[in-house]
Amino acid sequence: MSDTLQIKALVNNLPSVLSFIDKKLEENGCPPRVICQIDTVAEEIFVNIANYAYAPETGSMSVGIECSSKAAVLTFTDQGTAYDPFIRSDPDVTLSAKDRSIGGLGVFMVKKMTDEFSYRRENGSNILTIKKTFD
C-alpha cells in the first residue's frame, strides 16, 4: 500500500517527514536497524531538496512510501530546479578529507545504504526513488 505526504520543503519539517516514514515502516515490521538506515537516507534527500531545489525561494514536495514485509520504496518529488544527484561520480573516499573535493558524500552514502536508487525528470518534477529491502 502506498501513502504520500505533501509538505513544504523546509528543513524544519524534517521531523514530520521522518515520523511519517517511521510510522509506515513500523506498521510493516521493518527492523529498527533498517528504519535507522532509511531515516538517514531520507534526511539526506529531504534536506538537500529543502536547501537547494527552490533556492533562494521555497516550495512544496511530496514523500511517497510503499511498503511490504520485505522492502520499502520511497519516492521524493519536487518541482524545483532539475538536478540528477546520481550523475556526479562518487568521491574518492580513500583520500583524506582535506584532499577531497567538497560535496558528494551524502549522495554516496545514499547509494551505499540503499538497494536501488533512481532519478528522473518528468513533467517539470524531480522524482528520486530509493528502495531498501529488509534483512
Task: Give, for all 135 residues of the chain, the pLDDT tens digit.
Answer: 579 999 999 999 999 999 999 999 999 999 999 999 999 999 989 998 999 999 999 999 999 999 988 999 999 999 999 988 767 655 444 545 555 455 544 566 766 778 998 999 999 999 999 999 986
- Identify residue 92 by its one-letter amino acid code: D
| Dist CA 115 CA 62 (whole Å) | 21
Write down the residue that cell numbers 517539470 correspond to: 124
Burial of 29 (0-12, 13-18, 19+ CB in 10 A): exposed
Record the pTM.
0.85
Instruction: Spell out the domains of the chain, with CATH numbers in brackets.
Output: 2-133 (3.30.565.10)
Residue 105 DSSP symbol = H
